[in-house]
C-alpha cells in the first residue's frame, strides 16, 4: 500500500510540474506573438521578425511558395509590405496551441490586416515553435 501511495504522489507531482511548465511556455509564446503584433502595428518589420529563428533553415510558406532562411523571409516581408499603409493594423486570433513535446509547439491561428488605403486581407497560419537555448522561436510559418 505504501509503495502505491508513493508512486501515485510521484506521478501526480510529475504531471503537475509538466503542466506548470507547459503553461509557462504557452504564456511565453503568446508574449512573443504579442510583441510581434505590436511591432507590426508600429510599422517595424525588423522587430516583428524577432520571433523567428535566425537561421538559414527557417521555413516560411505563403502564397508565393516556400522561402528558406531568416534573411530571405525578412526581405520578402519588406518587399511585400514596404510602408505602414501596406502593413495596416494586424490582429491575431489564436485557435489552438498544441505542445508536441517539451521543446516543440504547434500553434494555429487567424490573422487579419485592416488597411483603409489598400483593402483588408486576412487568413490562417500555422506556426511551428522550437525551444532553442531556452528561448522559443518560430522555425516554420505557413500563412495563407
Total-model pTM: 0.84
CATH class of the 2-143 domain in this structure: alpha beta
Q: How confident is the model at residue 6 (pLDDT cuts 50, 70, 90)?
A: low
Close Cβ partners of 101 (under 8 Å, ≥ 6 residues apart)? none
pLDDT (tens digit, 9 = 90+) per residue, 77-132?
999 999 999 999 999 999 999 999 999 999 999 999 999 989 999 999 999 999 99
Looking at the predicted structure, is the pLDDT value of residue 11 above 50?
no
Instruction: Give the chain as a 3 state SS string.
Output: CHHHHHHHHHHHHHHHHHHHHHHHHHHHHHHHHHHHHHHHHHCCHHHHHHHECCCCCCEEEECCEEEECHHHHHHHHHHHCCCHHHHCEEEEEEEEEEEEECCEEEEEEEEEEECCCCCCEEEEEEEEEEEECCEEEEEEEEEC
Which of 50, 51, 121, 125 minimizes the C-alpha distance to 80? 121
Average pLDDT over residues 22-29: 94
pLDDT (tens digit, 9 = 90+) per residue, 46-67?
A: 999 999 999 999 999 999 899 9
| Per-residue confidence band for 136, with pLDDT thresholds at 50, 70 and 90 | very high
Predicted confidence band of residue 2 (pLDDT cuts 50, 70, 90): low
* Band of residue 15 on the pLDDT scale cut at 50, 70, 90: very low
Q: Where are the domains of the chain?
A: 2-143
Amino acid at each position: 500500500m505504501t509503495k502505491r501511495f508513493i508512486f501515485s504522489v510521484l506521478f501526480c507531482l510529475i504531471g503537475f510540474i509538466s503542466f506548470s511548465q507547459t503553461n509557462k511556455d504557452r504564456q511565453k509564446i503568446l508574449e512573443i506573438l504579442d510583441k510581434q503584433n505590436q511591432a507590426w502595428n508600429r510599422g517595424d518589420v525588423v522587430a516583428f521578425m524577432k520571433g523567428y529563428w535566425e537561421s538559414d533553415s527557417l521555413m516560411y510558406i505563403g502564397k508565393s511558395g516556400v522561402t528558406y532562411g531568416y534573411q530571405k523571409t525578412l526581405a520578402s516581408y519588406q518587399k511585400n509590405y514596404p510602408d505602414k499603409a501596406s502593413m495596416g493594423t494586424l490582429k491575431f486570433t489564436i485557435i489552438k496551441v498544441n505542445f508536441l513535446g517539451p521543446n516543440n509547439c504547434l500553434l494555429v491561428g487567424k490573422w487579419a490586416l485592416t488597411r483603409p488605403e489598400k483593402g483588408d486581407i486576412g487568413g490562417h497560419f500555422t506556426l511551428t515553435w522550437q525551444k532553442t537555448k531556452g528561448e522559443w522561436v518560430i522555425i516554420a510559418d505557413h500563412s495563407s
